[in-house]
Chain A
Amino acid sequence: MDSGSIAFLVLALLVMWGGLFLATVYLTLRPEPTAWPPGAEDDLTEDELDWHPDE
């Protein structure tokens, strides 16, 4: 491959795949805000409430 096309291949991979990687890492590290506005309690359907003690 030509050097120009290799450069653009690498650049595109870095920006798009890098963007995906960084966004995923950012979401993993900070999945939720530190505080929610008051009100609107949700039910037990989302990830964090998936498991509970057997009664």
Chain B
Amino acid sequence: MATKAKPKSTTGIDGRPQWSGQVGFIISAIGSAVGLGNIWRFPGVAYENGGGAFLIPYLVALLTAGIPILFLDYAIGHRFRGSAPLALRRVKRWLETLGWFQVTICVVIAIYYAAILAWAISYFVFSFNQKWGDDTGGFMYGSYLHLADTPGFSFDFVAGVLIPLALVWIAVIVVMALGVAKGVEKANIVFMPTLAIAFLILVIRSVFLPGAKDGLNAFFTPDFSKLGDPDVWIAAYGQIFFSLSIAFGIMITYSSYRKHRANQTTPGLVVGFANSSFELLAGIGVFSIVGFMAHEQNVAVADLSGLKGVSLAFVTFPKVISQMPGSALFGALFFGSLFAAGFTSLTSILQVIMAGIQDKFKVSERNSALMVGVPLAVVSLLFFGTTTGLYVLDVMDNWANNIGIIISAIIMTICVLWVAGKYKELAFHLSSLSTFKVKWTWLVLVGIFSPLLLIYMFGQVMYNLIKSGYDPSSYTRAFEFKAGWLVFILMVAASIVMTFVRWKEDPDKFEAWPGFTGKEF
């Protein structure tokens, strides 16, 4: 008998959009976790914090906080089947505000993240003739960004940034409008294997460059004295935390699109280790290339600067790429990888916002893509298509990540597990649906250890911010207030306002599955 493929439904029995299957979910979750931070943050953080020895606290952080909080996100999203505001409301009515706070974190991150993608796609094009020339710093901050002399908010638009930024927004809105299965998942299925292959070629080529072994020595040589420094452990937990896309709504949203009968924890292990595997690969590639740069300049790796963040990707790397044999290909691979990694992460960030709007107002995926995407694109173009975009981006990034996400994680772990008392129910949910069971160890890690650690991290961040500001050598307190604290206050205000907006359909008419009486765990 002839057979043919049955067209897959893109919604589940409860009407929620749905992944095409377990593989689609895992690839999309990895696509969300693997982002710019894996490529430009991890290698520099590891290098600054003990090289090879950093890998010890990093692995401890992955197993004791990263994966346990990832499981918590999965459990909340899957059991209470909703976007962050809906799922958290179903945990306890007043927790809806936390859900909207996670949505506002995503709003802030989305508007600046798109700008970095616009730079990456511009540099992808520049790679073919090394348009950046010899003075890569002068090109990035001068010829390309036209960076203003002093931080502030200007409306002097830069066409070279504005055009690619508009294109990024058009592309991402189209993907989002196609929906979870046909848009987000398909984009991940195209971009993630492409990213893996392109980055692997880049890494393999880079380890054979002259000087690569000096770079790898610098990266992996363990400095065990650093293990006694609490800041190194905090850096490791911070890296894991920000890298895994946890505690700001993404994984709650993604797991709500899984079918009811779906394995929870084992795919989480795959996602967690895949993210770290990619980070390690990035570290090997980046430091091989850094070693090559030191070799070409006849200096030690330790004497180089700009090994992290924007300066690593857009100043240091172009300089190295120009010196490499096959520089056009190398540049295209690097900036193409950066774009692919960032694009899949951006779709996941936007999905959090869209899911919140879809659940609250019962609008379609296509309409919500326009309702969310167009206003965000306008704000993104206004703030980041200008000569002051980089300054605003830097400050907003610090407040959204180092304050917003940490606060969100502290409230989520304490309020969901202890105040709302859902610790047994969520552990039961994970274990009854998964092949990798969780018990008290998970509860201790996610309910006691992680919140205490996060509170310590938050205290340290706040102490430094209040004492000396974020970056006193670059920004005035007034600018940090406007781009940092004021934005944060607006995020909190918007979260409260959205909580009071009426739901189109009763969100509380819901029964969690599987049933839990309290005796099962």
Contacts and interface: CB of A to CB of B under 8 A. Distances in A.
A10 to B, nearest CB: 9
Contact of A42 (B52, B261, B263): B261
Interface string A5-36: 11111011101110110011011001111001
Nearest to A10: B220
B208 to A, nearest CB: 13
9 contacts: A2-B217, A5-B219, A12-B220, A30-B435, A40-B513, A45-B8, A45-B12, A45-B18, A46-B262
A43 B266 contact: no
Given A17-B277, A27-B270, A54 B4 contact: yes
B146 interface: no
Given A32-B261, A45-B11, 7 more contacts: A5-B52, A19-B277, A20-B273, A27-B266, A43-B9, A45-B10, A46-B22
B401 interface: no
Given A27-B263, A30-B266, A51-B6, A20 B1 contact: no
Contacts of B1: 53-54
B515 interface: yes
Give the size category of B's interface with A. Answer: 35 or more
B434 interface: yes
Contact of B276 (A8, A19, A37, A49): A19
A23 to B, nearest CB: 4
Contacts of A41: 13, 260
A46 B20 CA distance: 6
B436 interface: yes
Contacts of A52: 3, 6
B465 interface: no
Contacts of B53: 8
A50 B5 contact: yes
A2 B301 CA distance: 15
A23 B222 contact: no
B213 interface: yes
A20 B12 CA distance: 29
A48 to B, nearest CB: 8
B448 to A, nearest CB: 24
B277 A42 contact: no
A8 B222 contact: yes
B266 A8 contact: no
Interface in B244-275: 259-263, 266-267, 269-270, 272-274
Instruction: Please give me the 10 A-B residue pairs with the lowest Cβ-Cβ distance, nearest first.
Output: A8-B52, A37-B514, A5-B220, A47-B21, A23-B269, A20-B273, A40-B260, A19-B273, A30-B435, A42-B259
Contacts of A7: 52
B9 A23 contact: no
